[in-house]
Amino acid sequence: MHRIEDALLALLATALVVIAGAQIGARFFIEGSLLWADSLLKSLVLWLVMLGALAAARTDSHLGIDALTHSLGPKGQRMARFAAFSFGALMSLLAAYYGLELVRFERESPSDVHGLLPSWVVLLVIPCAFAGMALRMAHSAVTQPEPK
C-alpha cells in the first residue's frame, strides 16, 4: 500500500516536471500553448499536494509548533501528542466531509470542462486524502513516535 502511494507520488511529480517543461517548450518554440496541459497541470498540483499531505501524515511531518512540548515529561508529552493529533484527525475529518460536499456541487455544476476527466473526479482526491489523513492522525494520537 505504501509502495503504491510512493510510486504514484513519484509518477505524478515526474509528470508535472515533464508537462510543465513541455508547455514552456510549446510557448517558446512553436509559439502556441497547450490548452489541455493547463488544465492537466492544475489537476496534477492538486493531486500532488493532497497525496503529499497524506504521505506527510504517515510520517508525522505536518508542520506544527513542536518546540514547546520538549520541556514536558514523558507523560506530558504523551498527553500533548494525543491532544495535537486527535485535533488534527478531527479537523481532517471535517475537511473530508466538506470536501465531499464540494465534489457534489462540482458534479451538479462543473466549473471546468476542458479536462480529460470530469472535474468532480479530479476533486475526489480532496475528501479521500483528508479522510486518509484523519485515519493516520488518529493512529498517531495513540502511538509513540518512531525514533528518528
What residues line the site for other proteins (CB under 8 A)? 6-7, 9-10, 13-14, 16-18, 20-21, 23-24, 27, 41-43, 45-46, 48-56, 59, 61-69, 79-81, 83-85, 87-88, 90-92, 94-95, 98-99, 101-102, 105, 123, 126, 137
DSSP secondary structure string for all residues of 76-98? HHHHHHHHHHHHHHHHHHHHHHH
Residue 47, amino acid: W
Q: Closest approach of Cβ 36 to other proteins, in Å? A: 15
Residue 126, amino acid: I
Q: Closest approach of Cβ 4 to other proteins, in Å? A: 11
Q: Closest approach of Cβ 105 to other proteins, in Å? A: 7
Instruction: State how far the Cα of 65 lies from the Cα of 141, in Å rounded to an integer.
Output: 16
Report DSSP state, residue 144: P
Query: Which of 36, 9, 43 is CA-nearest to residue 119?
Result: 43
Q: Closest approach of Cβ 32 to other proteins, in Å? A: 15
Residue pair 62/88 in contact by the 8 Å Cβ criterion: yes
Instruction: State how far the Cα of 48 lies from the Cα of 54, in Å rounded to an integer.
Output: 10
Residues in the chain: 148
